[in-house]
Amino acid sequence: MLKEQLAEYLHRYHHGAENAVTSRTLEQVLCVSGKELRDLVNALRREGIPIASDQSGYFYAKTEAEVRLTIRHMKNRISGISAAIAGLRRSLAAFDDMQIRLPLEGGDDS
């Protein structure tokens, strides 16, 4: 239900990038948290509803270019997250070197 309300609201009042609305405003209008709003947007996008976003906020895409720019922005975020994961994986080596390994009870470390 909220999903449909969000799509209708964006389509009616925030059609096109020039009419973008901040997430804070949407949270207040729909009485949802930031996470709930992001989940709703994600669900709509998965269904093929062209909910776009840029630095100004969310909007119902009016053009193909607006959708493509949103896709590009999302791909950049994926790349950044992948790089962060790779860095965290590299950091695990430091933990392997720093951890004291205690022998297991009944093990062969006598």
CATH number of 84's domain: 1.10.10.10
Judge whether 100 lies within some domain: no
* pLDDT tens-digit readout, 37-85: 999 999 999 999 999 999 999 999 999 999 999 999 999 999 999 999 9
Judge whether 79 lies within some domain: yes
State the chain's mean pLDDT as an integer.
Answer: 92
Q: Work out the average pLDDT over 93-104.
A: 69
Range of the domain at 23: 2-95
Judge whether 44 lies within some domain: yes
- Outline where the chain has alpha helix (H): 2-13, 23-30, 34-46, 64-98
Q: How many domains does the chain have?
A: 1
Judge whether 14 lies within some domain: yes
pLDDT of residue 78: 97
Judge whether 106 lies within some domain: no
For 46-61, b where at least 16 C-beta lie within 10 A, e where not — what string? eeebbbbbeeebbbbb
- Helix-helix angle 2-13:34-46, to 10 degrees: 80
Task: Express as a percent the part of the chain with pLDDT over 90.
Answer: 82
Q: Among 56, 84, 91, 87, which Cα is nearest to 70's?
A: 56
Q: Work out the average pLDDT over 1-20.
A: 97
